[in-house]
Amino acid sequence: MREENTYTNTSIAVRLWLTTATVFTVGAFIYFLLYGEMQVAVTFLTLGFVIACAGSLPAYCVLLFVLIYISQADSCIKQKFIKLIITCLLVTLGYAFIPAYSNLYSYDNRYNWLQFVQTLYTISGVLFAASIAAIYLNRKAINSYFSVLLVNYSSPPCSPSGHS
């Protein structure tokens, strides 16, 4: 018997994309508000979401594409969540690489690996935190999406250690 799913890979990708943009915008607003940058905080609140959505369109496309493969994988829900988290981490590293690389030669044309790593980790950390928050806030929908697909594809259950 095949169970119908109310969620699709598109709806899950859209939920994650919009929630990540919202969490990032609210986080930036709070950060600038706490540091006394009222004008920047208000700008983030008014334009930040639109800019975050536009800037993260490639991440949405990656999620849309990868969710199909994650959902159809012959693995348990826990492993699918881990694959989703790893995907988000790799996407954030991709977003952080360009600004980090631009800082690589920033000081007196010297090879500045420390600055590269600091920039890469800082940007990735902020974006990854927003992604993890989005996954957490949408965990019930994602769980439902993965659960119905497990029933439909008869995947084996996970052992307590998380290995099939």
pTM: 0.82
**Tokens of residue 133, six digits:** 């928050």
Domains in the chain: boundaries = 9-153
Taking alpha carbons only, the member of 103, 146, 100, 107 closest to residue 126 is 100
Q: What is the reported pLDDT for 41?
A: 84
For residue 162, give the amino acid letter: G
Which string of DSSP letters, residue by residue, matches the chain? -PPP-S--HHHHHHHHHHHHHHHHHHHHHHHHHHTT-HHHHHHIIIIIHHHHHHHTHHHHHHHHHHHHHHHHSSS-HHHHHHHHHHHHHHHHHHHHHHHHHHTTTTTTT---HHHHHHHHHHHHHHHHHHHHHHHHHTHHHHHHHHHHHHHHHTPPPPPTTS--
Averaged pLDDT in 10-residue chunks for the chain of 164 residues: 70 95 91 86 86 93 93 89 95 89 65 78 93 96 81 54 51
